[in-house]
Structure formats: C-alpha cells, structure tokens
Structure 1
Amino acid sequence: MRFSVLASGSSGNAIFIENDEHQFLVDAGLSGKKLESLFSKIDRSMDNLDGILVTHEHSDHIKGLGVVARRYNVPIYANEKTWKAMDGLIGNVPLDQRFQFDMETVKSFGGLDIESFAVSHDAADPMFYTFHQNDRKLAIITDTGYVSDRMKGIIRGADAFVFESNHDVGMLQMGRYPWSIKRRILSDVGHVSNEDAAVAMSEVVFEKETRIYLSHLSKDNNMKDLARMSVTQTLETCGIIAGEYVHLYDTDAEEPTELVTV
C-alpha cells in the first residue's frame, strides 16, 4: 500500500492511496487542472482512479469533485447525508457513478479494506477513513473538533497517520479572524490544535516505526515549523521522543508528499 498527501490545508485537500490493484483519492478539494498537475508530480494518472472517497461537503474537500468524476468517469463514494449536502455543489454526476459508503462500515476492494468512521465537524455527516492491507494500516483524520475515544480506537496502531494539526491556539486567539470564526474553530465541531493533536497521537501510536503527516494546517493560524515544534514538545511530555520510532512529516497546500509505502 502506497500513499501521497497531494495537498492539505484550508485551500484544498486531496490524498492518493494505491495498492498493486487499485487507486483511490480521498477528497478532491482542488480544481481538476491542479489535481492533474499534482498527479503528474507523483508519476500517476487520474485515468487509473478506481474511486473518490468523500469525507464531507466543504468546498476545500469537493471543489474539483464533479469535474474529475465526469472527465475521468470515476465512481464517487459518500454517505447518504453527504450526497444530499453536495446536491447543487458538484454539478450533475451520472447515477452509475454515485455510490453510497455508509458511516462505520468497511468496503473491500481486492486485498484493500477501507473503513469509514465518524468525526466531529460542522458538516452534514463527516467521516474519515482507515485503509488496511495485510497487517498494514493507514489512518486519515482531519476536520474534527476533538478526537474521541471511539476515533482513537479505530485509528490506533496505524503504521502511518495523516493527522490534523490545524492551528496554534495563541496565533488563532491573537489573529485577525472575527470572534465567531475563532469560536467555531475552537469548538468541538471545528479543528484540532497542534497540542490537542499531539496528545491524541500519543494515545494511538504503538512502539513501532510510525509516520505521522501533520495536515490541514491553517495558513493564517499556524506554520509548519511551529506545528512540528509544538507536536514534538507535547509528545515528549507524553513520553514519546519524535525521531525514535515516531517520525513527523510536513504536508503542503501546493506540493505533494513523496509517494511512500506503508
């Protein structure tokens, strides 16, 4: 199983996952043209996609969804409430490309099992995914106001995580956003801060080689260096030294991460 975080942030999100038989995209939150460019940077073609897995209907996750689905005849998977919320946002998608992926279920594609799970975000019915092949596991969790014990139980022990580290609380509180937006981000249906993300990470990693990709960083209320420093320090207070068996990686709004094997 291999993956690349093609883009991550408030301007657009997309994650590519493949095995020897299938290729999937989690979200398509950028223009079709930009997604094509990102695919070329990891030496892949969108012609080979077997499906797009939608997490929720916010524009930074579905901006290019309709265009890509129609241009490449790609199946789209989403739960019932998300399909309803996307009505009118992604244009016409043929019925034979519309598939329902219910919350808290598993779909199998050959040797690849994909599990959906609920998160806490201000969308119709937001959910994220874990990917399982043989004894390897990739967990994707962003766009949640907190990480519940149930979420931790589902993602625990993954070999790689794409984990939200959205904001620095101090930067957010002192920043230019109106209080209503700040309150939404800090709420249980907003986004996870650097420190809260790290505490959750400390409770789900096993003592084995683990890759954690810090994702969905706020352009206005976070920085890569700050996120990495905050997560590293918080992990250390929880007894985990970054670099020993837990390795932190940046993601970017414009450039894909290296395509790596889980």
Structure 2
Amino acid sequence: MPDYSARLEKALEITADAAAVSLSFFRNDPESEIKADQSPVTLADKATEQSLRDSLQDHFPGEAIFGEEFGRTGEGAAMWIIDPIDGTRSFIAGLPLFGMLLGYLEDAHPKLGVIRMPALGEAYAGGEGLPASCNGTPIRTRACRSLDDARLFVNEGDKLAISEADVFQRLVRAGNLRRLGADCYPHALVARGLADAVVDYDLQPYDYLPVSAVVTAAGGIMTDWQGNPLSMTSDGRTVTAATPELHAELLDLLNRP
C-alpha cells in the first residue's frame, strides 16, 4: 500500500497557510455575489482557493487540481480537490463553523483528506492506511450501533424539508440527540467521536470526498443514501455513520417507501 503520510503532512501545512488568508477576511464583511447555482461566493473564497492552488502547484507540480471556484486544471490520475470555504453562508454571517477542505484522489478515489476549521483552530486529517487525527491527536468514531442511542446531525434541513419532506420528518424524530447543522463540521465531530451520524444533502464532490477520507480513517462510514461508495458522480446525498450497524439503520430510514 502506498504511504501517503508525507502528502498528508504537506496538505496540513498548505491548509494552515491558506487558513490565514480566509481569517484575514473573516468578520470584515467581505463582498459577496451569487453564483449560477444560487450559492454565495466572496473574495475570501477566491483568495483562499488561489493560495491553496499556488502551494499545491509548488509542491506537487503537474498534478491536477479541482476547486469549487476555479474548476479543474491539469490532467492525470492524481488530483487534489478543494473547497476553500465550506460554509460561505456561515462565513458571511460571522459564524465560526466554516471549514476548509482539501483532498487527494487517485483514479477518482479519495486517498487522504483534511478538514480544517480556521476560526476554531482545529485540523482533522486522515487517509488510506493512516490514522485519523485532530491537531495531531488520534481520534476515532464512537461505538454507537443503534439509532435510538445516536447523536444525529441533520444537515441542510431547510432544503430537506422542501425537497425530501417525508425523509425530513423521519429524521427529526430519530436518534437520541438531534441537531440541525450544515457543512463539514458535523462530519468532523463524528470522526472525533462526539457525534454519531450525519445525513447531508445537495453536496458537490469537493464537499464530500475530502471529508469521506477523514471519516473512513477514523473508523466510520460515509456513502450515498443507497449505501454506494462516494465518487465524483454521486448525487450529493450522503450519510455518515460511526459504525456499520448504525449506517445500515440510517439507510433503512432514508429509503422507506
């Protein structure tokens, strides 16, 4: 098995440098505009992604890069995938729960990922054959095997309530403890063993592929709503769970007629 430890160490360094860029804009009321998909983008998103791209090109010349703001550059089986500010709405509102996502893929399969929370000073990392960590300390999912005992996050609840109303109603009655959330941080909390599951909706590959590498390294599972492995062509509906038993129970809940 290839050793991705050096790549992961460099990815942590690169995201730490880029975090300083995003924080320089945070709570300074950055200008924003609405993209074609109706999501907001700020100068901070663009500047942060450019910082990440520049560093990746310096340290990994010739490897492809796919980012939310500037699309894909380069070709080949090795590709870095970027979400410079995961949670731009939180960023605009001054909420410190926005993240930064960086993943490395080979043949479109995630091999390592970093979830950095710039305003919280937390960096979650993990990869194939590597342990998951938070700020260098090993982390692991909880051994929660029953939805009745689970700490469940329902992400993008406003979208789910409109587009998947029946599913939303089942989710807000499930679990032992429920929170409505958004973006990458609830998934990081599953990897850390503080939450047990996240149901998410309307994501893009740069939202879920870096996260899935961290969750998997921590002993968890992250798939689409049918239980299929996540890929560049997944439909954006994901489920993260601490254990196989909990994952199976959530899939059953999501797919009831």
Q: What TM-score, normalized to structure 1?
A: 0.31
In terms of fraction of residues, the more helix-rich structure is: 2
Identify the structure with bigger relative contact order (alpha carbons < 8 Å, sequence gap 6+): 1
